[in-house]
């Protein structure tokens, strides 16, 4: 397995804009997991545009299809990976943190674009998927 040689420039942040029912998201997840296993310091994943749909607890995926959310859950637990949800983008897509309709998976942190500023200024590289 690949391991980073230099430890001086290895802070990474990732933006995800594609929905979970799309194979492009599997690629993004695979990239994120590979980076984590290689010892990259992944300071956070920011979910924007259709990417926010990853956080929806109401989503039903057929049991024989790729369970994207359960993989995020695993990475969140194993690596304490911060998962930031752009709440403005989420609300447009029926995802809400209001008490009556709460449907955001607890592994996600409700965030705004201010968090993106933080991620992009702190990380050495930001990669968009």
Partner 1 sequence: MTKAAVKTLAILNAKAPYSNTAGKDALDIALIFGSFEQSVSLFFQGDGVCQLISNQDGAIISVKDYLKTFSAFEFYDIENVYACKASLEERSLLASFHIKEVQVLSRKDFADKLTLHHTILRF
Partner 2 sequence: MATLHIVRQSAFSSNDFFQCLQIVTDNDVIVFIDDGCYNLQHSLINSIDTNKNIQLKVIEQHANARAIAINEAVFTKVSMGDLVSLTFENSRVITWQ
To the query of whether residue 86 is one of the catalytic residues in this protein, the response is yes
Please name the residues in contact with 65: beta carbons below 8 A apart, sequence gap of 6 or more.
Answer: none
Please name the residues in contact with 50: beta carbons below 8 A apart, sequence gap of 6 or more.
Answer: 17, 18, 19, 22, 93
Paired with 42 in beta bridges are: 12
- Residue 103, binding choice from its own copies, partner 1, partner 2, none, Cβ under 5 to 8 Å by partner class: its own copies
Within 9-48, the residues that bind partner 1 by CB under 8 A are 9, 15, 21-24, 26-27, 30, 48
- Residue 53, binding choice from partner 1, its own copies, partner 2, none, Cβ under 5 to 8 Å by partner class: its own copies
Residue 60 as a binder of partner 1 (CB under 8 A): the answer is no
3-state secondary structure of 77: helix
Catalytic residues: 86
């Amino acid at each position: 397995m690949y391991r980073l040689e230099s430890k001086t420039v290895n802070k990474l942040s990732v933006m995800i804009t594609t929905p979970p029912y799309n194979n492009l998201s599997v690629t993004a997840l695979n990239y994120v997991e590979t980076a984590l296993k290689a010892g990259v310091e992944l300071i956070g994943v920011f979910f924007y545009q259709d990417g926010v749909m990853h956080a929806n607890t109401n989503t039903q995926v057929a049991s024989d299809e790729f369970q994207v959310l359960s993989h995020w859950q695993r990475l969140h637990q194993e690596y304490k990976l911060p998962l930031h949800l752009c709440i403005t983008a989420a609300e447009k897509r029926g995802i809400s943190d209001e008490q009556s309709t709460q449907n955001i998976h607890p592994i996600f942190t409700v965030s705004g674009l201010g968090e993106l500023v933080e991620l992009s200024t702190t990380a050495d590289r930001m990669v968009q998927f």
